[in-house]
Structure formats: C-alpha cells, structure tokens
Amino acid sequence: MISTDHWIFDSLWIFYLIHGSLSLLAAVIASQFVKRRFTNSQAMVIFLFLLFNISLPIVGYFFTIWIVYYLLHVKYEKTLTNVSYINMVEFKSEFPKVTRLFGEASMSELLANDFVPMSLKMKALVAMADNLTNHNLKLIKTRLSDNNDEIRLFSFAIVDKIEQRITGKMHTALKEFQETSDQETKIYLAEKIAQFYWEMIYFQLADEVLKKHILSEIKLYAQIVLDANLYHLKINILLGKAHLDIQEYDMALTYFMNAYQHNSETDFILPYIAEIYFYTKNYIGIKALLNTAETLRLNPTLYPIVKQWEVPA
C-alpha cells in the first residue's frame, strides 16, 4: 500500500514534469516569433519564457497565502440597520461640502488667453451654453470681439439663438393675449409675457434704453395678474427682482414681503430680502432673518451664508 506522503510526492513530481515540459514547449514556440526582433539572444528568450511559466504555480502559492491573510484581517464598515428615520438635527452639526458647477474665474481666463487652443475654447463655450446663466452668457458675450473668427461667430450664434428663443415665445404669447377674450387666459398669458420680458433683462439682452421700456412692460402685464391676485407668488418675486435690479430697494422689499408673508414654503425668498438688507446696511435684520429659516440650513449652497450670520449660542 502506497503511503500518503509518497503519493503526494509522486503527484507533485509528475505535475512539475508535465508542467516543465509544456513550459519548455511554450517557450520554444514563443521564441520562434520573438526571434524576428531579437535575433542574437534566442537562448535567453527561451530561458526567460521557461522561467516565467514555471514560476507561475509558485507565485500562486504566495498569492493564496496573502489572500488568506487579507481575509482574516480585513475590516468592513459598519452597516446601518436602523434606517427607518433620519435625524435632521444632526445636519446642524455638519458642514456640507459645497462644490461649484463652473469656475467662472477659470472660464474667463481660459476664454481670454490667446495661447489656449481654439478647440478648448469651443468646448468651454458649449459647456456654458448647456448650463446657461446670466453670468455664463456675459462671458460668452465677451467673445463677440475675439480674434478668432470661429469663436466670434459661435458666440454670436449662442447669443442670437437665446434672443430669438425668448422673443419668439414672447411674440406668440402677445398674439394670443390680444386675440383671447377669456379673462383667466389673459391672466395666464400676462404672467408668461412678464416672465419673458424679465428674461431679456436677466440675460442682459437689452441696453439701458431698452431696459427701461422692458421694465415698464413687466409692470404693465404684472399688474394684470396682481389685479386678480395681489399676493401672486411668481409675479411678486419677479417684480421684486426687477426693482432690485435697478436698485429700488423699498419697492423690491415690498414685493418680496408680499410673496413671503402670504404664501407657504417661501423660505427661498429670504436670501433676496437679506440681500436688500445688506445693501441698505440693515445688518441686524440679516442676522435675525436668516436665523429664523431652518430650511436654509439644508441648502448646501446657502448654508455657509446662514452659518456666517448665525447668532452665537
């Protein structure tokens, strides 16, 4: 009867004999292809391939030992089991990470730098056009005088497309407003028209002369809505922004207060009111205002501002 140790030894000997033979065969075949490039060292190529193939099982032994050691010592993060509720109080003790979608200063430098490749500038313009704000459009408009014809024409195309989109919708709404006799429809259309006029100012598509005319049109159509609902949320906010834009702080505050005090879930209006208080140097009012709105603390963008004006405990 063959002992267990002897059987294991014979098995290993047979395995390595077959493995060595196959490794040698694979090395010789591989060297036939490699010798086309390394003509003076075929023996060395065969030796390296043979050594690599033979050492693979040995490497596997050490790798197995390492895996066992890792599995015995690895530590996993604790898994939450009670997730039936979220403790909102804990949000007060944490400062959420705030990131920006666009670095305006970097974009401005990139577009103004003559050594930046044209393709990269085009990508920047496309990115800003996809996430259009009044600041992004302002940066795009600075490229209307760019030395590169493609950058200049593409910038003009973006600005022109935005203006045509707004004026096209405005023209359609004005036509429907004039043709309809239904009062509810007129109020609905007046709200849309006022919003379209405001977008002309928001995106800085009007000069100072045209801006005065647009503001008068905003007030005209907004008044139609206010006659039906004095505390209309969107219209009061729109008029507040319009007066804030021309630094008529008292009127802007009146409209923002109308929207805030006579509608529900309007804490998002408080930053506008706080901005007016800042311009009028009512700093105590800012502190009192921002500390009354708990929901602003959950906004990762506004949280740093609220924290800055927080009343010490």
- Please report, in tens digits, the pLDDT of each residue of the chain (313 residues total): 445 556 666 676 777 777 778 777 877 877 777 776 666 677 777 777 778 777 777 777 787 888 888 878 777 666 656 556 556 555 555 555 555 544 555 777 778 887 888 888 888 888 888 877 888 888 888 888 888 888 888 888 888 888 899 999 999 999 999 999 999 999 999 999 999 999 888 888 887 788 888 999 999 999 999 999 999 999 999 999 999 988 999 999 999 999 999 988 888 898 899 999 999 999 888 888 888 777 888 878 788 888 888 766 5
pTM score of the predicted model:
0.60
* DSSP character string of 119-156: HHHHHHHHHHHHT--HHHHHHHHHGGG-SSHHHHHHHH
Domain-wise residue ranges, the chain: 12-34+41-64
Angle subtended at Cα 25 by Cα 23 and Cα 30, rounded to the nearest 5 degrees: 90
User: How open is the CA angle 184-188-193, to the nearest 5 degrees?
Assistant: 140
Q: Please answer whether residues 179 and 217 qualify as being in contact, where contact means their C-beta atoms are separated by less than 8 angstroms.
A: no
207 in Cβ contact with 141 (< 8 Å):
no
- Please tell me the distance from the alpha carbon of residue 49 to that of residue 55, in angstroms, as a whole number: 10
| Close Cβ partners of 163 (under 8 Å, ≥ 6 residues apart) | 205
CA dist 287 and 242 (Å) reads 25
